[in-house]
Amino acid sequence: MIFRHLYINLLAEGERKPILNPLSSARTAKISVLFITNKIVQYIVLFTYINKNYHLLKNIMGNKNTLIVILGPTGVGKTNISLRLAEQLKCPIVSSDSRQFYRELKIGTAAPTEDQLKRVKHYFIGSHSIFDEYNAGQYEQDAIELLDEIFKSSEFALLVGGSMMYIDAVCNGMDDIPNVDSKTREFWQKQYSDFGLEHIQNELKRLDSVHFEEVDIKNPKRIIHALEICSMTGKPYSDLRTGKKKQRKFNIVKIGLNRPRPELYERINLRVEEMMQEGLLEEAKQFYEFRKLNTLNTVSYKELYEFLDGSWTIDFAVNMIKQDTRRYAKRQLTWFNRDKEINWFHPDDERQILDFVQNNLLNI
């Protein structure tokens, strides 16, 4: 079939630039021969590529199952447009907001409301407890298994959130990192509790200087995870991170949402005020005795625990929530801006986003 296609195209090229023409000059004939020869080489290269990548191309071209990723910084406004899009496509939403996994944390994570959950089927909202040990590697496995089931009855699914590593886990895959046993986890948690952040920073620098230069050294959770892996394997964490992208059985289209920075920061500040009015402090108090858990060492809760410990005033704690949330949004955008596959929109351009889906996705 491919050879027949090449033959027909070569004939067509020959009709436009004939090789033999009694009235043409020798120079024209020579140019025609070179033109056709060049086309033959191009088709040989194309055929070689198709032959080598046949199964991959067949999978992509013949597969209409599509994961639509709605991503963006915290507070940008992903919820409303994702609900509208899910209703239009009649498909579920899979959350990639790692903080919304935890059923105990609703206000501080801006989890979808009961009414929103009734409008569209959601997954990974309140699916775990703060006492569960859960990471991006486990999420990758669970999310891919879930998507396999979803695509049996729907051509589309939405992945919505802003947790960078969790989005990458689904779209690109994670390296095969071993699970950490409880003894190792307790050891490094105690090291952090007893000796502080600077101590574990120095330990990571000693055990894996490469990752030390890459990681957010102000994030104890990330540092402790790397130290756990170093202890478990006896190797630097950076040696285990290959960055090799996994081939998925579905198409992936990424839609990014962003706003001008002053507008985004104002929304973040207002949302923190709303959370406090909705009872964020009372929510944090419920789990005060468990404040050393990794799941509670997160924006909106760790700042309020500083207040409850007597270290900060409530006003200072609220201002720090705003500041830390803005800093997190900035880190998210830095991460996302490296991904050239993202199609960016302002969240208020709902019609443009829906048209993009209609024109580009439904015809895959």
* For residue 21, pLDDT beyond 70: no
- Distance of alpha carbon 184 from alpha carbon 121, whole angstroms: 38
pLDDT for position 364: 55
Q: What is the pLDDT of residues 38-87, one digit of tens each?
A: 656 554 544 444 444 433 344 444 568 999 999 999 999 999 999 999 99
Averaged pLDDT score across all residues of the chain: 86
Instruction: Report the predicted TM-score, pTM, of the whole model to 2 decimal places.
Output: 0.75
**Run of H or E including 88:** helix 78-89
- State the alpha helices, DSSP H only, in 151-293: 164-171, 182-195, 197-207, 209-214, 220-233, 261-278, 280-286
pLDDT at 12: 43
**Phi and psi for 293 in degrees, rounded to 5?**
-65, 145
**Do 347 and 79 form a contact (C-beta atoms < 8 A)?**
no
Q: What is the pLDDT of residue 30?
A: 54
Comparison of pLDDT for 73 and 22, the residue scoring more: 73
First to last CA, the chain: 23
Burial of 122 (0-12, 13-18, 19+ CB in 10 A): buried
Q: In the predicted model, is pLDDT for residue 160 greater than 50?
A: yes
For domain 61-175+244-360, the CATH architecture is 3-Layer(aba) Sandwich (3.40)
CA–CA distances in Å: residue 73 to residues 160, 201, 354, 356:
11, 27, 20, 21
The whole-number pLDDT of residue 118 equals 97
Q: How confident is the model at residue 44, as a pLDDT?
A: 54
pLDDT (0 to 100) of residue 178:
79
pLDDT band at 342 (very low <50, low <70, confident <90, very high): very high
Task: Give the range with max mean pLDDT: 26-35, 68-77, 242-251.
Answer: 68-77
The pLDDT of residue 49: 41
Confidence of residue 8 (pLDDT cuts 50, 70, 90): very low
For the chain, the domains span 2-52, 61-175+244-360, 182-240
* Secondary structure class of 229 (helix, strand, coil): helix
pLDDT band at 9 (very low <50, low <70, confident <90, very high): very low
Architecture of domain 182-240: Orthogonal Bundle (1.10)
**Interatomic CA distance for residues 89 and 255, integer angstroms:** 15
pLDDT of residue 26: 55
Report pLDDT digits (tens) over 282-329. 999 999 999 989 899 999 999 999 999 999 999 999 999 999 999 999
| The pLDDT value given to residue 222 | 86
